[in-house]
């Protein structure tokens, strides 16, 4: 038999933390935390997508950049800014019938016939002018060979059949001059294919392979068979396009003397010049110096590389804006926007300094290409390149469903209890009013 004085367990409804107001405050506090956390979650998970200077990139369509072989520009633009390097040719002739005025006229007509090849703005002067892009031609009467020294070209008019070739001499000089100033115009596709891509720094590595090492894995990455296929079989040297060169040195002695290595390294020098894109002199022109290349070749290479870098930077910037416009989920951070803006500024500088210095134009074009490539291959952009919006739903739905389900159930339960309490209170008031009325 239970003791009536024994203490009964408390009624849960009378506990302070089980009261209706406390319970609703707890539920409201949970919702308040969720509501306050939503902006923080949105900030931490949203994609940083800054606006790119698309209008400046589109304006590049009005800037024509020649690669040396042909020029390209959109026909929609009425204003075209061409990248041209001014060249001043100073002509001096010792032959009376080939005066400066006659040669200037012949040169101008010949250049007009080759107007489809862009990239140079050639001016002929009969007075001695100095400065960037100045070259000198001395036409000698009794000389038979064309020699270059520095930026000077000495060319003769003597020929075995002089009378028959008199009318062709000015055209021959113009053709030689054009091949010296813009050798890329006559460059074949195979010659262009073997040139390495431009880089501000190139690392040279010399590897000595003996008979045993050649049978191992040391040369597996070298496409030697392709090099042999492209090269004459009688040669002991092979060029791997955009990679390097190979020289076969078959000697019985294990000791390699300096004299023995002179010929292979001379071949390496020629291979390196070919890989770097240093143009060859025309067959009728010889060098009067001991340098591996002349100033004519170096200037032509600098102008060609500057044009290629500017054209590649332009195409890369246009690809970036097109890709960002196409993929709405792609992030664009401040680093990408800054690289694009700096690349555009470097490209503008290329067109500004091309008139005064081809070396500075190469420097700015290299900077523009480097910045544009860095922006295109930015890890922040590539990370979400293949991350569609459906993946977001698959990631966040389990997280939000587990949090929202109990909170929504608690709110629905409280609403139902509130409505039930209101009905009970209304019924109680009606019964009280009826009792008072009786």
Domain shared by 346 and 422, yes or no: no
CB atoms within 10 A of CB 371: 23
Res 160: pLDDT = 44
Looking at the structure of the chain, the number of domains it has is 3
> Could you tell me if residue 399 is inside a domain?
yes
> Could you tell me if residue 315 is inside a domain?
yes
CATH code, domain carrying 318:
1.20.1270
Determine the Cα–Cα distance for residues 201 and 203; give it in Å rounded to an integer: 7
Residue where a domain terminates, one of 156, 188, 220: 188
> Could you tell me if residue 41 is inside a domain?
no
Kindly give the pairing relationship between strand 63-66 and strand 71-72: antiparallel
Look up residue 212 and give its two tokens: 């045993």
> Could you tell me if residue 347 is inside a domain?
yes
Domain shared by 356 and 404, yes or no: no
Determine the Cα–Cα distance for residues 123 and 132; give it in Å rounded to an integer: 13
- pLDDT-flagged residues of the chain (< 50): 1, 68-80, 116, 160-161, 163-164, 213-214, 218, 233
> Could you tell me if residue 340 is inside a domain?
yes
Res 72: pLDDT = 38
> Could you tell me if residue 55 is inside a domain?
no
Domain shared by 127 and 156, yes or no: yes
What is the extent of the structural domain holding 135?
A: 85-188
Look up residue 428 and give its two tokens: 């109680």
Domain shared by 424 and 381, yes or no: no
Closest CA to 82 of 311, 346, 370: 311
Res 73: pLDDT = 39
Domain shared by 175 and 92, yes or no: yes
Determine the Cα–Cα distance for residues 214 and 231; give it in Å rounded to an integer: 20
Domain shared by 347 and 416, yes or no: no
> Could you tell me if residue 406 is inside a domain?
yes
> Could you tell me if residue 334 is inside a domain?
yes
Domain shared by 422 and 347, yes or no: no
Determine the Cα–Cα distance for residues 21 and 425; give it in Å rounded to an integer: 17
Res 12: pLDDT = 59
Domain shared by 361 and 429, yes or no: no
Res 366: pLDDT = 94
Res 126: pLDDT = 57
Domain shared by 338 and 415, yes or no: no
Q: How many C-alpha atoms does 372 have within 13 Å on its Cβ side? A: 25
Cβ atoms 309, 368 nearer than 8 A? yes
Domain shared by 373 and 395, yes or no: no
Domain shared by 319 and 394, yes or no: no
Domain shared by 308 and 398, yes or no: no
Total-model pTM: 0.72
């Amino acid at each position: 038999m239970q003791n009536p004085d024994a203490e009964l367990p408390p009624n849960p409804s009378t506990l302070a933390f089980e009261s209706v107001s406390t319970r609703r405050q707890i539920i409201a506090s949970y919702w308040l935390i969720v509501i306050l956390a939503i902006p923080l979650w949105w900030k931490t998970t949203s994609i940083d997508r800054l606006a790119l200077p698309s209008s400046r990139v589109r304006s590049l369509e009005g800037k024509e950049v020649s690669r040396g072989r042909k020029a390209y520009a959109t026909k929609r633009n009425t204003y075209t800014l061409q990248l041209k390097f001014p060249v001043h040719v100073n002509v001096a002739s010792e032959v009376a019938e080939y005066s400066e005025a006659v040669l200037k006229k012949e040169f101008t007509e010949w250049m007009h016939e080759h107007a489809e090849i862009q990239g140079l703005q050639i001016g002929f002067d009969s007075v001695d002018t100095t400065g960037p892009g100045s070259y000198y031609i001395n036409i000698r009467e009794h000389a038979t060979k064309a020699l270059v020294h520095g930026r000077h070209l000495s060319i003769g008019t003597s020929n075995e059949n002089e009378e028959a070739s008199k009318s062709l001499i000015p055209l021959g000089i113009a053709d030689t001059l054009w091949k010296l100033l813009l050798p890329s115009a006559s460059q074949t596709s195979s010659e262009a294919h073997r040139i390495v891509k431009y880089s501000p720094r190139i690392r040279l590595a010399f590897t000595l392979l003996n008979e045993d090492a050649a049978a191992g894995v040391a040369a597996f990455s070298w496409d030697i068979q392709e090099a042999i296929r492209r090269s004459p079989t009688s040669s002991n040297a092979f060029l791997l396009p955009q990679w390097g060169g190979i020289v076969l040195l078959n000697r019985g002695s294990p000791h390699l003397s300096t004299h023995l290595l002179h010929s292979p390294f001379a071949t390496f020098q020629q291979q390196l010049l070919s890989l770097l894109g240093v143009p060859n002199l025309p067959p009728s022109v010889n060098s009067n110096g001991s340098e591996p290349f002349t100033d004519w070749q170096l200037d032509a290479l600098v102008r060609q590389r500057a044009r290629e870098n500017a054209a590649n930077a332009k195409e890369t910037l246009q690809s970036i804006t097109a890709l960002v416009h196409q993929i709405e989920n792609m992030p664009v951070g401040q680093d990408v926007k800054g690289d694009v803006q700096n690349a555009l500024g470097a490209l503008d500088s290329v067109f500004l300094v091309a008139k005064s210095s081809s070396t500075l134009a190469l420097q700015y074009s290299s900077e523009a290409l480097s910045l544009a490539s860095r922006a295109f291959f930015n890890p922040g952009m590539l990370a979400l390149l293949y991350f569609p919006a459906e993946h977001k739903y698959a990631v966040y739905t389990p997280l939000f469903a587990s949090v929202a389900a109990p909170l929504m159930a608690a709110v629905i339960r409280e609403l139902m209890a509130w409505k039930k309490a209101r009905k009970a209170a209304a019924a109680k008031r009606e019964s009280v009013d009826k009792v008072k009325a009786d």
